[in-house]
Amino acid sequence: MSQWESLNRVLGRGDQGTALIAGPVRWDYVELAARASRRAQRLSAQGLVAGQVVWVSEAPVLDLLVMQSALAALDCGLLPVSPPLGTDRDQALARLAGVEWRWQPRGEAGGDLIPTGFGAAPHPGPEEARPALVIQTSGSGGAPKAVMLTAANVLASAALANQQLGLTAGDCWLSCLPRSHVGGLMIGYRCALAGASLVLHERFDAAILADDLERQGVTHLSLVPPMLARLLAVTEQPPPGLRVLLVGGQALSGALASRAIAAGWPLYLSYGMTETCSLVAASPRLRAVPALGLVGPALPGIEIRCAGTPVSPRRIAIRGPVVMAGYAEAGRRPGIGLDDGWFLTNDLGYLTAQGEVAVLGRADEVLVIGGEAVLPARVEDQMMAAPGLEAVVVVALDDPVWGYRLVAAYAGSASPDVLEGWCREHLVDRERPRAYRRFTRLPTTPSGKPERSKIKALILGAGESAHCSALEVGT
């Protein structure tokens, strides 16, 4: 059985268990398989052939779920994007990857395939190298890239995650992460492989999430740290049935981890990225706050190498069955961005003597201030111990003498003057911000991560100066 046939078999299980819960909608796997079969017939009749890729909006979420199964049945790839469709970035991504079709949903009636005009050239290569997923990501300069993930990558990733996190039939995973990103999209594959239920939320809403955790009997949940902070503001105590709260996407501050652990939340740290089909390393359930950046061991079958130390972190390299086929270009040839199967990440870290991976920042974020290296992620983690701080992002502005000066953008009740005093007492000079900007709420990306470029632009627009450290900025 080929990997594509295996993926199709997983997504079209056809058993009686609950596959999906989305508000009032509840489908079992039989219903989902029937809808996917009808969709596959419609796509084939409109000209879709094996090996081609379809650009699909992540909303409505039910339509995207059906498309996942239908495209797997036809040996075709999925490029999920966030609405609205047709942005310049989407167009650039579709052109870059030679995507042949765009899907235009038409409610319950189905929808139509629209040619993009970008995929006229044939795509050579073996069947196993065809992308099941083409996922957008960004390079160090912010330019769009398209990551090709094969059916084998998807199946290996889902199986390893399920093994690590104990997801089995009858369990229930709530997904409120964007499904145009690999972290949100892979939850559906994990549930299908295990025969578990997928609870889908169109967007993150802490109050609705807290209610559904109880009402739907959720056993597994994935969040990024800002989402966790907002959830704890709504409900301090976890529901008794929740066994796994997987936190990833960015570093989890020690202060937030301590608060969640003390309240009894079953925290698991994760490390992964689009190029590795999500998860590659994970912690056991946290009983205490780990060392800065420490995640946990690699999942079985995944190799991680890194020559760094806690004092001098180095770039992390990863190889294994979850690592992408390569970055896409118009011919979708495999191998671009890989070296003998190894993917050299932009993440800086080290491996402990026990083989656990620690991630301390990104190579493109290292700053040289007064001749010494500074990692903004480390500064942010230390600052989260300050009283009256809910979230903080440290950005760097050019400085003609020191190279850079740091500005702390934060949300919380602490005044800029009080926070400045705390930093003078607790941070070494090169890591201490020179200005402090209070936000009503820090801007975030659709995936819930801080939108650093927007935060920096708002600070500059407000007239950043070393002489106005008490300025407040609302968003």
Range of the domain at 452: 366-473
Last residue of a domain, one of 360, 384, 418: 360
State the total domains in the chain.
2
pTM: 0.86
Residues 327 and 438 in one domain: no
How far apart, in Å, are the Cα atoms of 454 and each of 148, 294, 393?
28, 28, 11
Statement to judge: residues 400 and 342 lie in one domain: no
Task: Kindly tell me if the per-residue pLDDT of 120 is higher than 70.
Answer: no
Altogether, the residues listed in the chain come to a count of 475
Of the candidates 105, 129, 102, 123, the one whose C-alpha atom is nearest the C-alpha of residue 113 is 102
Q: Which residues partner with 175 through β-bridges? A: 200
Q: Which CATH number do you get for residue 417?
A: 3.30.300.30
Predicted confidence at residue 373, as pLDDT, reads 80
Same domain? For 372 and 349 the reply is no
Q: Cα separation of 400 and 468, whole Å?
A: 19
Distance from C-alpha of 74 to C-alpha of 70, rounded to nearest angstrom:
7
* 259 and 390 together in one domain: no
One domain for residues 92 and 205: yes
The residue ranking higher by pLDDT, 189 or 441, is 189
Comparing CA positions, the residue from 72, 65, 24, 16 lying closest to residue 48 is 72
CATH number of the domain enclosing 233: 3.40.50.12780
At residue 188 the predicted structure's pLDDT band, cuts being 50, 70 and 90, is: very high
List the one residue out of 235, 34, 276, 261 whose CA is nearest residue 135: 276
Percent with pLDDT over 90 in the chain: 65
Choose one of 304, 327, 360: the last residue of a domain: 360
The answer to whether residues 330 and 456 belong to one domain is: no
What confidence tens digit (pLDDT) does each residue in 352-376 have? 999 999 999 888 888 888 778 888 8
Q: Please, which pLDDT band fits residue 87 given cuts at 50, 70 and 90? A: confident
**138 shares its domain with 246:** yes
Same domain for 243 and 349, yes or no, is yes
Shared domain check, 354 and 373: no
pLDDT at 474: 46
- 308 and 373 fall within a common domain: no
Q: Which of 304, 326, 360 is the last residue of a domain?
A: 360
> Are residues 83 and 219 located together in one domain of the fold?
yes
- Reported as type and span, the H/E element at residue 255 is helix 254-263
Question: Strands 131-138, 144-150: parallel, antiparallel or unpaired by DSSP?
Answer: antiparallel
> Which residue, among 160, 144, 238, 235, has the nearest Cα to 194 in the 3D structure?
160
The answer on 370 and 272 residing in a single domain is no
Q: What are phi and psi of 303, to 5 degrees?
A: -100, 135
- Model confidence pLDDT, tens digit, residues 298-341: 999 999 999 999 988 999 999 999 999 999 988 888 999 999 99
Q: What is the pLDDT of residues 268-296, one digit of tens each?
A: 999 999 999 999 999 999 999 999 899 99
Higher pLDDT, 466 or 8: 8
